[in-house]
Structure 1
């Protein structure tokens, strides 16, 4: 049976330190020598030159081992700007362990950190709605359906909050300014599918305490009285004390416990302190007695009682709520919900010393009270410090040849040999230098790799190699030892280059860095390999770029994974002000740009050509295009009689167009022999080319080919999506739905359905343009949908739509002119952007005689297209919400957005049936249950 208490861990120290043990290395080296050359070499004494060289190499290995054994901060330290570069290499505790607010305690920390806020609490904002269970015409409303013949039900909108604030009365702050600061802070840290409706001063319930206290003879009655009032007030409505980093460490807390929650400005707040300062539901007399008895100078309590403070005389105004309905008794007072108990100014405290009553000097009481308040304020003036980042000590890692450490009589030191020695002696020295150069090169390469540790263990997008070569330096006459010394210096065609498998090794290193955050990219990697092939460099480059960017921005996408966008900022379009969830999904799926921007384009489309001949009559042919506003970059080599065949080829083309190896430059048959760009399929056949774009020279054609690939690559990966929180479309300030219900997806089947009646709470609509290269692929859609459901907070329900088809937007043909008995012969009319799911009819007036060709005009009805419609409605809604009163969008913009959202349809490519045993991967658009839309004949 699996033992759940056993955990597989990676040991922190994997070194056996054999590289630091000179004797172990020497013994192992001598053993190798004996095994290899025992028939030729029998003298293993210390004076033998071979043993001397082996010992020197063992010493060099220990030197390398000592450098490897340095603390990691030393290995990654930089010579210049070490502090800045160390913080780029590693995430500090303050940046990687904190997160945006998630829980109520997190939000309380955030708001208590604002000057002028003594304490605050989050309360659920109650907003009931009513549903009329009319199956034919379901309705919801903010008001009950009086006298309805149908069953009615009620439900509460979830995710709306009210913040109750206990203002610091001693501070000179304007309450309106504090409320505005709370709203600003909240919307900078708003969670998905949640919103703040109001911020208001907490209602107070005044508690009167009457007590007679016997004091010690040496007690200071003014100090005792000030302390009793302060401590009782703290019991009823406690202040939250901030801590410094040192104080948090002294509590024995670990770094992840210290930095749990949001980044603050005025010290650290512990969850325990916040839990103790929650709004009380009851006040016990026994607790107050216990508080008083613990104060120095108190001997005993002769008499004490508590009750609700009676109404003021002559109906004087006050903060205390006098309409108390909670039940109480002499020992316990129940506190009204969302009320703060405070000490009533009608409370009385009488003191005795022995049998004599003691009077109080109120000026001295005020002085002692000021001291207690000053002590509390001092406790709040802390800073939110970061744990110090180890800086390390930089030391240049440079290999120095071992040859200089041999005795000088070997003749290969930096001083060399005397000019008087024989040529034979000089040649022998050169031979020894060449022999030892092999060992020098191995050690130099190891040292070079150690020097680049900080580069390998970083998200460096400019890194182009994982093996590093370093030519050996310092050897006299090294240029005479090598056949081509410059070639050796530049590592041209060196063995170190032949070992390099950059993509594989770089992916392994990045996976190691990602695994340190308990993240994996296996699903994304496998999906990309499946769609585009493992052998393509562009796929590998995309995966490496995606991993690099993920690591670089991990502190943001980790801490903001549940964060919503801030709809109060002035810029709402062409901005990176999107939800943290959206950023995380983008970086996990290789989306280059997660900003909110225009996503609709019709630059990849199917062109419909109308042919009208006497022999065949009117028929249509189809051609795929990749274009910009003013240029067609590629077009199909042939026209197709079936639109789906054109689409199928276009899907295959999109897998080939970003690889330069799939292009050839062809020459025209004209005398000028101009060049044009052609695209080849896997079998080498031309399937696409540039029409009407010819280039005089091959160099110009190559430049234009590079431009074409760059444009198409940018076009294919110009991906994004819209995330719309349904709660934002609810007019909870005006409470007027009006005809918004006409656009809501209500499903109130007798109110007995398993589906929720609430179309707003904790629901998001996620909209993808379904016509891009990856988004049109069913396998990538499956990956994205699984990723979204895994990463989205569990309490939020997503609706995922893949809007549009690669065929483009919806258009229609309008016959505007008929021409008879004319010499005009128009044989082709381009009809672009015809939605694949729509049947397009061309109405021909059969009663009239026509010539070979009729003229048709293209009328673009792209306004009816889902993707463009949702983009327009979403943009208008955000603009209206930013400018509206209380940041509430107008009724018209809300209606347009809701209608656009709930009229969308997910478009799938035409599916094919196939044998379940057919696993050759050719059927890319398989019909899958619940994932394919089946049409009608």
Structure 2
């Protein structure tokens, strides 16, 4: 802890050092005015004014040194307000899950999930093979042919451990124990019912479960184990809804006939058991749906989830002889033994608060490292402790028991494991192996603990032991905190009213005659003129000082991401403007010509040097001129800061904000100036603002994939994080998945029933406002599409545009086709011909820029993997011996195809294409291979016609395999035909202009010979 103290030798900044400022001021006076000013004593009026200005400057220095949180907290009306240019730790430091532990955190955060594990799928189903000789992939294994297995990467299996429900109890193992009496004999039954993952996909449609009659084979397997002696008979139980057989274990020595009779009698009244089981399945199904939703919402690019299953449990039994002290409470000791062993076998994953982690030494970056959680924070240590045991060492169990108060020694101990009611490993005194990915639980009913006090053996009372064990479980820390957004608040400072300026004219002695008191009426006109001249002279200093404070008070606006703030220089008026400025220069009204002329100076009670004589007139004047003064003051902005200055300064400020996140727009800036130097600065400001506004999402989710299970698949911003980030880096207006082929065109049936079967089309802007309509009616949608192609070309040619005066004396626009016939009609009317011609210019520029069609599609190859035998496969290009790098053999793992329209104005530029390609490859995860296709409009239309139906089929839950196969095969067929288009060039001819576009390999298309 840092001790606070007062520094006696604290150094002050030069801007706050009044003596230093005064000394520097006199030095400047001496240097500049030594020929006419030699008296620098304190009585000199010039020195008095210098001292006053030095005092004012020291005040500015003092305010500038306020804590930055105070400077940024300058707001109106003292109301707290979040700063739009700052992000909280939760929003800026967290990320979409990246590691397996990140996903575990996210799943454990779901109510009802106690723990979760993910593992890579090593052998996908169906298995993929590469036929080397035929250079193709296949799903059919041919042992005689030269084949190699291809294991698609990026698939995960998830295992879930559920929390114990308050009402329904344990979900992870559907084992029911019951005692039944038959023929005056008591039987202990263990009934193992199917795990939840057998029914979770159809549980909503199951209303009840029933047990069928089952035989108990006379030759049922049996086994005998010691300590204690247990003879078990196994029976079978058919579960009608699944058509599978499950196990019943009886712990008895009675005959097969007696066991069969007892089980039948028990199940005849087992409706409560079945009802309980059904409710458990319904509750699990709801948790399962939450898990699926979270997984799909946070899926990473080129990754997917294969299967979600429950735990495979191994029950552990412990038999031990324990020596205790003579005063030991056996029930308490045994309860602690059970509690510590079970906590070791099945540890909880605990959540922590920010305060707890800070006290443990975690930094802010470490606390918020990972995905956003709503029930607290989970550390790496907690996750590492809750992994699957591969082996249980008896020494670890002994150490736990020895740490319990009252225990003196563990004289003998053995461990056994049970799997689905059958013994798996028995009597291990050294180490107990555990099956792969099996979770462990302590089975108290399979434990036997004998205590010794000296040489005398004792047994703890079972009922009391279980009661105390339950108390220990209830006192254990609850691992899940209350649901809320755990975050660090932005530090709000004190509102220091930084813009408030008190004129230096108030500080001069009254003898100067420029303060509130003014001058006596008896003074000469010359004295009055001198006072006003001094007042006007000091106004220059007042304005500079007031503007500095205004700039300081608007630092928050300088770094704001609000696009409506269109200035970087701030100033304020020296006279009061209601609701605008609190200027308080004394008697400033006497310097405003309009106000002075409004006064009746002939009246003896009005004196310009007596503020009290015209105070009411001054207030009335201010109210009357409120709007006029406000508008006039706004008109000063261009004088203070012209457009060029604003663009330069604003871009510099935004570059500073970008640098805080280690981001830069350097290459994009140079490219934009190359494309359009005149419009580049304004567009750069817009693009940088959008990038910063979306930064938490496009930084934390840069490797995130889209949620393919979301119902809405089109006209949605549910796209990958890579698409969002690249769109913002390239200044693409919208990253939404939408139609790009005819992005601003709609073909629709003729609304008049008399023209049924006819089609029209309209061209609109990004706000869906109509721009042009087709004049002609078309007999089919295909014909209308052909006309649209011609229309989109026609609007780019200025010679096709015409202005026409209508009968109502207003003007309208139309566009001719290639034959000179009227083709397109404008939607708007114009009052003058000049207005109409100006509209033509704007529309031409709009269509040529065509930013509405800027965008791109991203297809993850993993999502078009084969799911059934009937699925078509991607093509490959390999040698006959398959000697290529494994990455060439597998076209599904960590590969994406990016489909980009090649016709928008910017996208036709060769340099922009290079920048686009380098950007998307740079921003994609390092392990993801990117294939880029620049396509023309017809190819894009074909792609969209198969891509959207495939997305719809994939989004169905559960999806129809046959329908998905058909849609996926259609998509693969179109993807195989996509080829990049490039600007057309011609072979060099010596007779042609030497400035022709050069031919670049793989980047050019040769024209045809005519």
Where on the TM-score scale, by shorter chain, does this alignment land: which range?
A: 0.7 to 0.9
Moved more, 886-895 or 186-195: 886-895
- CA distances 1:192-222 after superposition (whole Å, capped 9, x unpaired): 1111121111212333332211122333322
Are residue 931 (structure 1) and residue 1003 (structure 2) matched?
yes
Q: 2:155 corresponds to which residue?
A: 160
Q: 2:493 corresponds to which residue?
A: 392
Question: 1:138 and 1:573 mapped to 2: Cα distance?
Answer: 33
Structure 1 residue 468 displacement after superposition: 1.8
| Native 8 Å contact 2:95 2:370 kept in 1 | yes
| Native 8 Å contact 1:83 1:391 kept in 2 | no
Q: Map 1:541-556; keep pairs closer than 5 Å.
A: 541-556=682-697
Question: 1:328 and 1:547 mapped to 2: Cα distance?
Answer: 69
Moved more, 124-133 or 395-404: 124-133
Q: 1:834 corresponds to which residue?
A: none
Structure 1 residue 133 displacement after superposition: 2.5
Moved more, 328-337 or 580-589: 328-337
Are residue 725 (structure 1) and residue 857 (structure 2) matched?
no
Q: 2:68 corresponds to which residue?
A: 72
Choose from 263, 266, 277 the match for 2:372. Answer: 263
| Native 8 Å contact 1:328 1:334 kept in 2 | no
- CA distances 1:568-590 after superposition (whole Å, capped 9, x unpaired): 12111111111122111111111
Q: Map 1:663-678; keep pairs closer than 5 Å.
A: none
Structure 1 residue 756 displacement after superposition: 2.2
- CA distances 1:885-915 after superposition (whole Å, capped 9, x unpaired): 3476611100011111121010000246799
**TM, length-normalised to structure 2:** 0.72
Structure 1 residue 64 displacement after superposition: 1.5
Structure 1 residue 737 displacement after superposition: 3.9
**TM, length-normalised to structure 1:** 0.77
Structure 1 residue 83 displacement after superposition: 7.4
**CA distance 1:89–1:490, shift in 2 (3 Å):** closer
**CA distance 1:279–1:748, shift in 2 (3 Å):** farther
Question: 2:294 and 2:360 mapped to 1: Cα distance?
Answer: 29
In structure 2, the residue corresponding to 1:352 is in which secondary structure?
Answer: strand
Structure 1 residue 715 displacement after superposition: 3.0
Choose from 15, 18, 22 the match for 2:14. Answer: 18
Task: Note the aligned Cα RMSD (angstroms).
Answer: 3.8
Q: 1:496 corresponds to which residue?
A: 640
Question: 2:824 and 2:338 mapped to 1: Cα distance?
Answer: 90
In structure 2, the residue corresponding to 1:437 is in which secondary structure?
Answer: helix
Q: 1:348 corresponds to which residue?
A: 448
Question: 2:994 and 2:920 mapped to 1: Cα distance?
Answer: 25
**CA distance 1:496–1:666, shift in 2 (3 Å):** farther
In structure 2, the residue corresponding to 1:787 is in which secondary structure?
Answer: helix
Question: 2:800 and 2:138 mapped to 1: Cα distance?
Answer: 63
In structure 2, the residue corresponding to 1:371 is in which secondary structure?
Answer: helix
Question: 1:416 and 1:718 mapped to 2: Cα distance?
Answer: 68
Are residue 401 (structure 1) and residue 503 (structure 2) matched?
yes
Question: 2:53 and 2:286 mapped to 1: Cα distance?
Answer: 73
**CA distance 1:45–1:766, shift in 2 (3 Å):** same
Question: 2:800 and 2:568 mapped to 1: Cα distance?
Answer: 33
Structure 1 residue 176 displacement after superposition: 2.4
**CA distance 1:328–1:790, shift in 2 (3 Å):** farther
- CA distances 1:480-509 after superposition (whole Å, capped 9, x unpaired): 547799698455487523596111110001
Choose from 533, 556, 560 the match for 1:458. Answer: 560
| Native 8 Å contact 1:208 1:347 kept in 2 | yes
**CA distance 1:700–1:127, shift in 2 (3 Å):** same
Question: 2:727 and 2:451 mapped to 1: Cα distance?
Answer: 69
Choose from 446, 460, 470 the match for 1:360. Answer: 460
Structure 1 residue 136 displacement after superposition: 4.4
Q: Gaps (5+ residues) in structure 1?
A: 1-14, 312-316, 605-625, 633-645, 658-662, 680-688, 810-864
In structure 2, the residue corresponding to 1:630 is in which secondary structure?
Answer: strand
| Native 8 Å contact 2:740 2:901 kept in 1 | yes
Q: 1:526 corresponds to which residue?
A: 670
**CA distance 1:697–1:669, shift in 2 (3 Å):** closer
Structure 1 residue 38 displacement after superposition: 2.1
Q: 1:700 corresponds to which residue?
A: 835
**CA distance 1:650–1:709, shift in 2 (3 Å):** closer
Question: 2:683 and 2:439 mapped to 1: Cα distance?
Answer: 57
Q: 2:847 corresponds to which residue?
A: 712
Moved more, 570-579 or 110-119: 110-119
| Native 8 Å contact 1:603 1:628 kept in 2 | no
**CA distance 1:506–1:749, shift in 2 (3 Å):** farther
Question: 2:651 and 2:831 mapped to 1: Cα distance?
Answer: 43
Are residue 761 (structure 1) and residue 893 (structure 2) matched?
yes
Q: 2:519 corresponds to which residue?
A: 417
| Native 8 Å contact 2:300 2:703 kept in 1 | yes
Moved more, 256-265 or 34-43: 34-43
**CA distance 1:668–1:211, shift in 2 (3 Å):** closer
- CA distances 1:375-430 after superposition (whole Å, capped 9, x unpaired): 33534234552113212222332222111111010011022111111000011111
| Native 8 Å contact 1:211 1:305 kept in 2 | yes
Structure 1 residue 260 displacement after superposition: 1.3
In structure 2, the residue corresponding to 1:91 is in which secondary structure?
Answer: coil
Are residue 216 (structure 1) and residue 325 (structure 2) matched?
yes
Are residue 593 (structure 1) and residue 593 (structure 2) matched?
no
Question: 1:83 and 1:419 mapped to 2: Cα distance?
Answer: 46
Q: Map 1:858-873; keep pairs closer than 5 Å.
A: 865-873=938-946
Q: 2:347 corresponds to which residue?
A: 238
| Native 8 Å contact 1:242 1:380 kept in 2 | yes
| Native 8 Å contact 1:232 1:288 kept in 2 | yes
Name the larger-Rg structure.
Answer: 2
**CA distance 1:926–1:367, shift in 2 (3 Å):** farther
Q: Map 1:595-744; keep pairs closer than 5 Å.
A: 595-601=736-742, 630=773, 697-701=832-836, 704-705=839-840, 708=843, 711-712=846-847, 715-732=850-867, 735-738=868-871, 740-741=872-873, 744=875
Are residue 187 (structure 1) and residue 296 (structure 2) matched?
yes
Question: 1:508 and 1:181 mapped to 2: Cα distance?
Answer: 45
Q: 1:299 corresponds to which residue?
A: 408
**CA distance 1:97–1:696, shift in 2 (3 Å):** closer
Question: 1:404 and 1:501 mapped to 2: Cα distance?
Answer: 35
Structure 1 residue 749 displacement after superposition: 3.6
Are residue 31 (structure 1) and residue 141 (structure 2) matched?
no
Q: 2:949 corresponds to which residue?
A: 876
Choose from 38, 42, 49 the match for 1:46. Answer: 42
Are residue 144 (structure 1) and residue 123 (structure 2) matched?
no
**CA distance 1:478–1:303, shift in 2 (3 Å):** same
Structure 1 residue 180 displacement after superposition: 1.9
Q: 1:751 corresponds to which residue?
A: 882
Choose from 524, 528, 532 the match for 1:430. Answer: 532
Q: 1:565 corresponds to which residue?
A: 706
| Native 8 Å contact 1:132 1:153 kept in 2 | yes
Question: 1:678 and 1:170 mapped to 2: Cα distance?
Answer: 71
**CA distance 1:348–1:725, shift in 2 (3 Å):** same
Number of residue pairs matched by the alignment: 789
Question: 1:83 and 1:760 mapped to 2: Cα distance?
Answer: 55
Q: Map 1:770-849; keep pairs closer than 5 Å.
A: 770-804=902-936, 809=937
Q: 1:441 corresponds to which residue?
A: 543
Question: 2:636 and 2:113 mapped to 1: Cα distance?
Answer: 68
Question: 1:277 and 1:600 mapped to 2: Cα distance?
Answer: 52
Choose from 108, 111, 132 the match for 2:107. Answer: 111
Structure 1 residue 692 displacement after superposition: 8.4
Q: 1:685 corresponds to which residue?
A: none
**CA distance 1:690–1:16, shift in 2 (3 Å):** farther
Moved more, 93-102 or 69-78: 69-78
Question: 2:814 and 2:72 mapped to 1: Cα distance?
Answer: 49
Q: 1:332 corresponds to which residue?
A: 431
Q: 1:905 corresponds to which residue?
A: 979
Question: 2:999 and 2:424 mapped to 1: Cα distance?
Answer: 66
Choose from 337, 351, 373 the match for 2:473. Answer: 373
